[in-house]
Amino acid sequence: MAYNGKNKNSKNNRVSNIPVNKNANKNDYNKVNGGVFVYTGNISVSQLSKELNVPATNIIKFLFLKGKMVTLNQNLDDELIGEICLEYGYDFKKEKVVSEENFEELEIVDDAKHLKERPPIVTIMGHVDHGKTTLIDTIRNSNIVATEAGAITQAIGAYQKEIKGKKITFIDTPGHEAFTQMRSRGASVTDIVIIVVAADDGVMPQTREAIDHAKAAKVPIIIAINKIDKPGADTDRVKQELMTLNIVAEEYGGDTIFCEISAKKNIGIEELLENVLVLAEMQELKANPNRYAMGTVLEAKLDKGEGAKATLLVQNGTLNASDFVVVGAAYGRVRKMTNEYRAELKVAGPSTPVAIIGLTEVPVAGDKFMAFPTEKQAREIAEKRKLAKAQDELNKKTPGTLEDLYNRIHEGEIQEINVIIRADNQGSAEAVKGALQNIQVEGVRINVLRATAGAITETDVLLASTSSAIIFGFNIRPDALIRKKAEEEKVEIRLHTIIYHLTEEVEAAMKGMLKPTYREQVTGQAEIRKVIVASRIGKIGGSMVTNGVIKRDSLCRLLRDGVVIYEGKISSLKRFQNDAKEVAENFECGLTIENFNDIKEGDIVEGYEMVEVKK
Ligand code: GDP
């Protein structure tokens, strides 16, 4: 029987997702066992020294000789742990500890008898302008059932459609972004990819990309040949082009479902949806509605009125309004749960996207979430995850190597600006990050430690403090507490509402950070025609400015037969008896050079200035 999303189970019937594992004490694992150092993660030099029974100074020295500088309490990465173990005659093995803190790693295997069919989750991809958005809209608006009619929809990043009594969940962000971003965060939410190909345009670069992404993710594809209403439509050509990419229609002996549609004229849409159901059935998509919900964040933002608002896609289990959820490192009680029509839901079963409010922080799209029966459990797990996350971020700062240091000095000091970005939603956080990373200033690099949605937190300030980072807030204001904390930690918080202003400021800062570089600019040359000896002054060069200008107090060099004899400064410059600030081409002048008296007829005095090179 299909799971219809109307789960009436009270939460007491749901099983918890966290296995009770009394042995999940991490510290038990960092141990030598029969010549093998078995570890689970974060381990510092001093801890490792104890376990391997090797003085810490030996380890530090060993790493130093390899060009790595570490301190006693610094956590080591896997590579270094491995190198150290081998150096001191131990084998090593990293063990994954799956505990409540890293519930992403939990592999939940439901008993087959608890599994129920669930709606397929579909993403629409394809080349730009081939009709993804139009298709999403057409599907969304097609045969809206009575209760939904007239309802104002809210963009929550996904929606469900019912056809023939069965639901389909559509992720409604078109294009690769959503898909690839999710995948890059290790989240896989899609069961089926619809690839839209315009019949009048055929296979284009992004069509190929979309196919590659889907194949890499092992997600089955349905091809929707769109715009068949257009005069230039040539569906056969599209099929043949796709054949060269090993996407073969059933009529040609392949097994890919092809649908010919017009998203704009609403032709073939129902068939397309039916085919999605056919493919879904073949995949036997199932989940267990009788456990606490777990799934992925599709979208998240800070809502002015409602606070942190996130769209969660329930992938397994059932989410009840009033459940406690942990998302990323945030937690909270679901205060309100709505669907894409703003209708309040009490329960959301597998494959249901819901917008929730009640989280203490704005999570990141792609984050996993899990629901818990009690607030205590949710809070404790969130706290642990927050700590682990901060630790991870610190660990990411790899120790500078000697080689690095050497290069820095020799390459005119490469400088790095660490930044933390906080914005009103994940989209603008990414945009700010992208804009900052696009700033090209030689010798300075922007290193974005994190770019997330939501208010600036204490963890941000602490991270900024330990990594000398600047915090940029975009469309957000930190509260008094955070301001105070930042002051204490001497962390700079810069606030902006216009990306352009932000990048301008950063660019200026980046330029300012550099020691200015100067370039020589010749102002002009004068030829010494006559050497006049003055008793008190010494030798004065009676000269003719042959090109450009000669300026008093400017730097100069004296050339004799093309060879630089002296470099110095023009100390006096006169036109007849009067001091001159500068003398132009084809005028005569008398000049002296500071601390240099050996001028001769025929010498050339070249005046030059050092001008700052604008970075
Ligand atoms: P996207 O970039 O893939 O999201 O493409 P859009 O949905 O924005 O569509 C690009 C253009 O193609 C728009 O002008 C649409 O009106 C048009 N279009 C989309 N589907 C069809 C179709 O089935 N027939 C025709 N004639 N035009 C279409």
CB-based contact 303:309 (threshold 8 Å): yes
Residue 214 — left, alpha, or beta (φ > 0 → left; ψ -120 to 50 → alpha)?
alpha
| Averaged pLDDT for residues 465-477 | 80
- Quick one: pLDDT at residue 178? 56
Atom of ligand 1 nearest to the CA of 137: 7
C-alpha of 48 from chain center: 32
Percent of all residues in the chain with a pLDDT value above 90, rounded to a whole number? 33
Name, in order, each residue with C-beta under 8 angstroms of 288's C-beta and a sequence gap of 6 or more.
110, 111, 114, 115, 116, 316, 317, 350
* Per-residue model confidence as pLDDT tens digits over 389-409: 777 666 544 333 334 333 443
* Per-residue model confidence as pLDDT tens digits over 312-321: 999 999 999 9
Out of 113-117, 303-307, 414-418, least confident range? 414-418
Residue 326 C-alpha to ligand 1 middle, in angstroms?
A: 40
- Quick one: pLDDT at residue 467? 66
Out of 88-92, 116-120, 206-210, 505-509, least confident range? 505-509
Out of 129-143, 239-253, 386-400, least confident range? 386-400
Predicted confidence band of residue 118 (pLDDT cuts 50, 70, 90) = very high
* Per-residue model confidence as pLDDT tens digits over 287-316: 999 999 999 998 888 888 888 899 999 999
- Quick one: pLDDT at residue 385? 84
- pLDDT of 335 higher than 80: yes
Predicted confidence band of residue 144 (pLDDT cuts 50, 70, 90) = very low
Q: Whose CA is nearest to atom 10 of ligand 1?
A: 129
- The answer, yes or no, to whether any atom of ligand 1 lies below 6 A from the CB of 264, is yes
- Quick one: pLDDT at residue 25? 46
Residue of 299, 300, 302, 336 whose CA lies nearest to 319: 336
- Quick one: pLDDT at residue 610? 84
- Quick one: pLDDT at residue 260? 97
- The answer, yes or no, to whether any atom of ligand 1 lies below 6 A from the CB of 174, is yes
| Averaged pLDDT for residues 427-443 | 84
Residue 209 C-alpha to ligand 1 middle, in angstroms?
A: 19
- Quick one: pLDDT at residue 152? 61
Pocket test for ligand 1, best of 123, 125, 130, 134 (most atoms within 8 A of CB): 134
- Quick one: pLDDT at residue 4? 39
- Quick one: pLDDT at residue 496? 84
- Quick one: pLDDT at residue 338? 93
- The answer, yes or no, to whether any atom of ligand 1 lies below 6 A from the CB of 139, is no
| Averaged pLDDT for residues 141-151 | 53
- The answer, yes or no, to whether any atom of ligand 1 lies below 6 A from the CB of 132, is yes
Residue 131 C-alpha to ligand 1 middle, in angstroms?
A: 4
- Quick one: pLDDT at residue 600? 93
Atom of ligand 1 nearest to the CA of 127: 3
Residue 129 C-alpha to ligand 1 middle, in angstroms?
A: 6
Q: Find where tokens 């459940």 sit.
A: 323
- The answer, yes or no, to whether any atom of ligand 1 lies below 6 A from the CB of 176, is no
Predicted confidence band of residue 437 (pLDDT cuts 50, 70, 90) = confident
Residue 137 C-alpha to ligand 1 middle, in angstroms?
A: 11
More confident residue, 353 or 41: 353
- pLDDT of 498 higher than 60: yes
* Whole-number average pLDDT of the chain: 82
- The answer, yes or no, to whether any atom of ligand 1 lies below 6 A from the CB of 128, is yes
Predicted confidence band of residue 131 (pLDDT cuts 50, 70, 90) = very high
- pLDDT of 198 higher than 90: yes
Atom of ligand 1 nearest to the CA of 136: 7
- The answer, yes or no, to whether any atom of ligand 1 lies below 6 A from the CB of 133, is yes
CA angle in degrees (0–180, nearest 5) for 167-355-324: 110
Atom of ligand 1 nearest to the CA of 262: 23
- Quick one: pLDDT at residue 512? 61
- Quick one: pLDDT at residue 345? 93
> Dmax of the chain from CA atoms?
115
- pLDDT of 113 higher than 80: yes
Residue 41 C-alpha to ligand 1 middle, in angstroms?
A: 50
- pLDDT of 609 higher than 60: yes
Residue of 283, 217, 216, 225 whose CA lies nearest to 249: 225
Atom of ligand 1 nearest to the CA of 128: 2
Amino acid (1-letter code) at residue 307: G
- pLDDT of 585 higher than 70: yes
- Quick one: pLDDT at residue 241? 95
- pLDDT of 150 higher than 60: no
| Averaged pLDDT for residues 585-610 | 92
| Averaged pLDDT for residues 348-365 | 91
The residues pairing with 574 across neighbouring beta strands, listed in sequence order, are: 579, 590
Residue 207 C-alpha to ligand 1 middle, in angstroms?
A: 15
Predicted confidence band of residue 29 (pLDDT cuts 50, 70, 90) = low
More confident residue, 186 or 221: 221
Residue 273 C-alpha to ligand 1 middle, in angstroms?
A: 19
Tokens linked to 514? 């550099």
Q: Whose CA is nearest to atom 9 of ligand 1?
A: 131
- Quick one: pLDDT at residue 373? 87
- Quick one: pLDDT at residue 22? 41
* Per-residue model confidence as pLDDT tens digits over 58-107: 998 888 888 777 888 888 888 888 889 888 988 888 876 666 677 777 77
Q: Whose CA is nearest to atom 22 of ligand 1?
A: 227
Q: Whose CA is nearest to atom 19 of ligand 1?
A: 131
Out of 170-184, 348-362, 402-416, 548-562, least confident range? 402-416
Q: Whose CA is nearest to atom 2 of ligand 1?
A: 129
- Quick one: pLDDT at residue 16? 80
Residue 227 C-alpha to ligand 1 middle, in angstroms?
A: 7
SS3 readout for 579-595: ECCEEECCCEEEEEECC
Q: Whose CA is nearest to atom 17 of ligand 1?
A: 131
CA dist., res. 485 & res. 462, Å (int) = 9
- The answer, yes or no, to whether any atom of ligand 1 lies below 6 A from the CB of 336, is no
CA dist., res. 570 & res. 557, Å (int) = 9
CA dist., res. 373 & res. 318, Å (int) = 12
- The answer, yes or no, to whether any atom of ligand 1 lies below 6 A from the CB of 263, is yes
CB-based contact 151:141 (threshold 8 Å): no
- pLDDT of 37 higher than 70: yes
Q: Is 251 exposed, middle or buried (0-12, 13-18, 19+ CB in 10 A)?
A: exposed
